[in-house]
């Protein structure tokens, strides 16, 4: 079955600490993975996609096909990173499967 799992509903870290939001997927084909973010009172928006291999707002994510993971990382968390983060898997065509989301809270 095609599935995206984000094991943490809530992740709380101190400002300046490293942060890692976990994402595991289940898909037998060639996956395309994304991280979307929703800041308070803003709409859901794309943060990054694995094929771009870029760093956005200091965040990076590497696709690990062996572990079927696409964890989102940032070495030094900032208060403005507090938001809801969704991992998403596009399985081909028009269908994208979203994880349940992880709320990141960065404490001062």
Partner 1 sequence: DGGITQSPKYLFRKEGQNVTLSCEQNLNHDAMYWYRQDPGQGLRLIYYSQIVNDFQKGDIAEGYSVSREKKESFPLTVTSAQKNPTAFYLCASSKTGQETQYFGPGTRLLVL
CA–CA separation, 38 and 104 (whole Å) = 10
CA–CA separation, 55 and 7 (whole Å) = 23
Determine whether 10 is exposed, middle or buried from the number of CB atoms within 10 Å of its CB (0-12, 13-18, 19+): exposed
CA–CA separation, 7 and 101 (whole Å) = 9
Q: Does 46 bind partner 1 (CB under 8 A)?
A: yes
Task: Single out the residue of 18, 44, 64, 78 in contact with partner 1 (rule: CB under 8 A).
Answer: 44
Q: Does 31 bind partner 1 (CB under 8 A)?
A: no
Q: Does 95 bind partner 1 (CB under 8 A)?
A: yes
Q: Does 99 bind partner 1 (CB under 8 A)?
A: yes
Question: By rule CB under 8 A, what string of x and - marks binding of each residue 47-86 to partner 1?
Answer: --x------------------------------------x
């Amino acid at each position: 079955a095609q599935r995206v799992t984000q094991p943490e509903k809530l992740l709380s870290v101190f400002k300046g600490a490293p942060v890692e939001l976990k994402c595991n997927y289940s898909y037998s084909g060639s996956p395309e993975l994304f991280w979307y973010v929703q800041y308070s009172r803003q709409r859901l928006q794309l943060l990054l996609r694995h094929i771009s291999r870029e760093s956005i707002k200091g965040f990076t994510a590497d696709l690990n096909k062996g572990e079927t993971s696409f964890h989102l990382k940032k070495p030094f968390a900032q208060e403005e990173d507090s938001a809801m983060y969704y991992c998403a898997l596009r399985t081909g065509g028009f269908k994208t499967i979203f994880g349940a989301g992880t709320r990141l809270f960065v404490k001062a």
